[in-house]
Amino acid sequence: MQAIIGILFALISALIWGTTTILARVFLRNRGGITLNAVRLLIAAPFYLVILLYTGFPHIDNLTLFIIALSSLSGFVLGDYFFFTSMKFMGVSRSMLITSIYPLWVIIFGFLLLGREITPMMVLGALIIAAAVGMVMYKRENIEFNYIGVLNAIVAQFLWALAVLSIDWLLEGMPVLKVTAMRVSMGGLIALFILPWERKKIAVLTAKEWFFAAIIAIFGIVIAQYTFTTAINLAGPGIAAPLGETSPILASIFAKVFLHEKVTSRLFLAITLTIAGVAVLMM
C-alpha cells in the first residue's frame, strides 16, 4: 500500500510538471532561464520559510547542510536552468525527450553511491516508461535538434539525478516536509545571490509574466516538490523518478479528456507502455 501511495504522488507531480513546463516555455520566449529560476524560487521559498518558522528548523550538521545546498543547486538552480536553456534552443518536446532517461542514472548512481538496490525490473520499467515518453514527444514540435540544446539537456539529466539521490539521502534523517522546506528555502537563498545580476531583467517583467512565474512556482515547486519528495520516501527513487517523467503522457491524456482531442494510435500505445512500465516497477 505504501508503494502504491508513493506511485500516486509521483504521478501527481508528473501532471503538475507537465502543465508548468508549458507555461515555462511561454515565459522563456522573451526571457532567460536565469530570470525564470530566480523569480520562481523567490516566490516559492517564503511559503516553506513560514512552515519552518512555525514547525521549527531542524538541527542539522555541516554535512547535511552541504547536501541540502548541493540538492537545491543541482535540482532547482543549475538542473532546471540547463533544461530551460535547452527548451529555448529545441523546444519542449526535444528537451523532454532527451531528459526522460535521467531515471536510469538515478538507479545506476543510487546503486554506486548510496548502495541502493538495483533490479532488472527497475531498469526494464524505467526503459519502458522512457520509450512511452519518447513516443509522445517525438515529432510533436517542428524544431530540429540543436547541439547546444542537446548538451544542455544532457547536463540537466545528470544534475536532476544528483538532486533525486540527495533527496533520498536527506530523507534518512528528516521527514518529508522538512526536507522539502529546507531544499526550497535554500533555493530561495541562492536566488538572492543571483538577484543583483538579474534585477534589471526582473524589473521589466510584465504582469502576465509574473502570473506565469507565480503559477510555475506555487504548483511546480511548492506543491510538486512536496509530492515528489513524498513519492521518493514511500516508493523509493528508482520508482518515483521514472514515474515523474510521465508528465508529457499525462498532459496528453488530459488534453484528450478535457479538450476532446483525438486519441491517436501513438498515444494509445504510449499509455499502454506506461501502464506496463508501472506494473514492472511494482514487481
Q: What per-residue confidence (pLDDT) applies to 189?
A: 93
Q: DSSP characters for the chain?
A: -HHHHHHHHHHHHHHHHHHHHHHHHHHTTTS-HHHHHHHHHHHHHHHHHHHHHHH------HHHHHHHHHHHIIIIIIIHHHHHHHHHHHHHHHHHHHHTTHHHHHHHHHHHHH-----HHHHHHHHHHHHHHHHHHTTSSS----HHHHHHHHHHHHHHHHHHHHHHHHTTTS-HHHHHHHHHHHHHHHHHHHHHHHHHHHHT--HHHHHHHHHIIIIIIIIHHHHHHHHHHHH-HHHHHHHHTTHHHHHHHHHHHHH-----HHHHHHHHHHHHHHHHHT-
pLDDT tens-digit profile of 126-148? 888 788 777 766 655 555 567 88
**Which amino acid is it at 263?**
V
CA 69, 50, 188, 107: dihedral to nearest 10 degrees?
50
pLDDT tens-digit profile of 45-70? 999 999 999 988 888 999 999 999 99
CB atoms within 10 A of CB 149: 22
**Rounded mean pLDDT of 245-249?**
73
**Rounded mean pLDDT of 169-194?**
93
**Mean pLDDT of the chain, nearest integer:** 84
pLDDT tens-digit profile of 76-116? 889 999 988 888 887 776 777 778 788 888 888 888 888 88
**Rounded mean pLDDT of 221-227?**
95
56-60, 172-176, 216-220, 247-251: range with lowest mean pLDDT: 247-251
* Cα–Cα distance measured from residue 25 to residue 163, given in angstroms and rounded to the nearest whole number: 22
Are the C-beta atoms of 216 and 24 separated by less than 8 Å?
yes
* Cα–Cα distance measured from residue 8 to residue 4, given in angstroms and rounded to the nearest whole number: 6
Q: What per-residue confidence (pLDDT) applies to 43?
A: 95
What angle in degrees, to the nearest 10, is found between the helix axes of 147-170 and 237-244? 140
Q: What per-residue confidence (pLDDT) applies to 105?
A: 86
**Rounded mean pLDDT of 18-41?**
87
Share of the chain above pLDDT 70, in %: 87
Domains in the chain, number = 1
The better pLDDT of the pair 274, 30 is held by 30
Of the CA atoms within 13 Å of residue 193, those in its CB half-sphere come to 6
> Cell for 259?
479538450
* Domain range for 106: 2-281
Are the C-beta atoms of 281 and 125 separated by less than 8 Å?
yes
**Rounded mean pLDDT of 111-123?**
82
155 pLDDT tier (thresholds 50, 70, 90): very high
* Cα–Cα distance measured from residue 173 to residue 72, given in angstroms and rounded to the nearest whole number: 17
Q: Which of 105-119, 208-222, 268-282 has the highest mean pLDDT?
A: 208-222
